[in-house]
Amino acid sequence: MSDKNFLSILTGSFSTPCADNPTVAMIEAAYRHHAIDARYINCDVTSGNLGDAVRGAKAMEWVGFNCSLPHKVAVIEHLDALSDAAKIIGAVNCVTIRDGRLTGDNTDGKGFLASLKEVTDPRGKAILLLGAGGAARAIAVELGLAGAAHITIVNRNVAQAETIAALVRDNTGSDASAVAWDGAVTVSDGIDIVINATPVGLGDGEAMPAIALDSLKKGQVVADVIPNPPRTRLLREARARGCTPLDGLGMLVNQGVICVELWLGKTVDAAVMKRALQDIFGDAG
C-alpha cells in the first residue's frame, strides 16, 4: 500500500446561476493557506436537479456544501436535521454531512453578526433594517438572539417585513416592528445601527437605497450586505456624515469561516479570505 493520499476532502456550493459566485476563491484561499487537503467545487445546480445533487454529494462523501439562490429553502426537504437558527429562519445556506446524515444550518446571519461585532455589540441597540428578504430574515433573527433592544424592519412589501418582525418577537427576546418603505426612509435619532439588506448597490457603485441621507447622524453604524463593490454609495455617504461604515465583505468572509468550522472543525484565517475577495472586488477602503 502506498503512503500517498490522492483523495481530497470535498466541499462546494450548489446554486444557479453561479459563475459570478466568488465563494470558491475565498474558501480555497483558506484551504491553501492552512495546507488543508480539501477542495471547494462551485456547481451550477438547477432547481430540478437539487435532490440529485444533494444525494450525489452524500454518495461521494462530501463533508458539506453551501446552498445559495434559489435553493436555500428548497434544500430543507432533502436534509435529516436543522440547527435551531435554520429552523427559526426557515432557510439553509450550509449543509454538513457526517456519517451519512445531512444537517442544515444558516450562517448568513451569524456571519453578519461576527462582522458587526468588530465595530459594535448589538446588545441593547436600536436597529433599522432595510429589506425583508432572505438576508434580512437571517440577520434579524441573529440580531434578536444577540439581544438587540428593537429592530425596525422597513420594506416595500410591508407584509413581508411584518412576518420577520413577528419571527423576531416570537423567537427571541427582542422587540421588532414593521414599516412600509414609501419614499425616502428617515433614520430617527434613537437608531444606533442601520443595515441595508436589499440588493440595491450590487454591481452598481452609484445605486443607493432610498433613505434621507440628512437623517444619518455621527456615531451611527451603517452596514451594507453588498460585497461587490464593497464600498457602496450608502457607505461612502455614511462615512462622509461621521457614521461608521461596515461593508458586506465581512459578512461573506465570516459566514464562510463558520461553514468551514462546521465542515472540518477547523477555524481558518478570515484575513486570508478577505484578501482573496479584495483581490477580486477591490479594497473596501
Residue that the C-alpha cell 472543525 belongs to? 265
Q: Which is nearer to ligand NDP, 61 or 221 (CB)?
A: 221
Q: Smallest gap, in angstroms, from Cβ of residue 275 to ligand NDP?
A: 16
Eight-class DSSP state of 67: E
- Considering only residues 240-279, where is the footprint of ligand NDP by CB under 6 A? 248, 251-252, 255
Q: Which is nearer to ligand NDP, 91 or 97 (CB)?
A: 91
- Considering only residues 134-193, where is the footprint of ligand NDP by CB under 6 A? 134-136, 155-157, 160, 181
* 224: Cβ contacts below 8 Å, ≥ 6 apart: 195, 196, 201, 232, 234, 235, 245, 246, 247, 248
Active site residue 58: no
3-state secondary structure of 5: coil
The rounded distance, in Å, linking the Cα atoms of 126 and 118 is: 17
Give yes or no for residue 24 binding ligand NDP (CB under 6 A). Answer: no
3-state secondary structure of 203: coil
- Considering only residues 188-247, where is the footprint of ligand NDP by CB under 6 A? 197-200, 202, 209, 225-227
Q: Which is catalytic among the residues 4, 72, 117, 266?
A: 72
Q: Which is nearer to ligand NDP, 7 or 285 (CB)?
A: 285
Please give the full DSSP string across 115-140, using - where no structure is assigned: HHTTT---TT-EEEEE--SHHHHHHH
Binding site for ligand NDP (CB under 6 A): 108, 111, 131-136, 155-157, 160, 181, 197-200, 202, 209, 225-227, 248, 251-252, 255
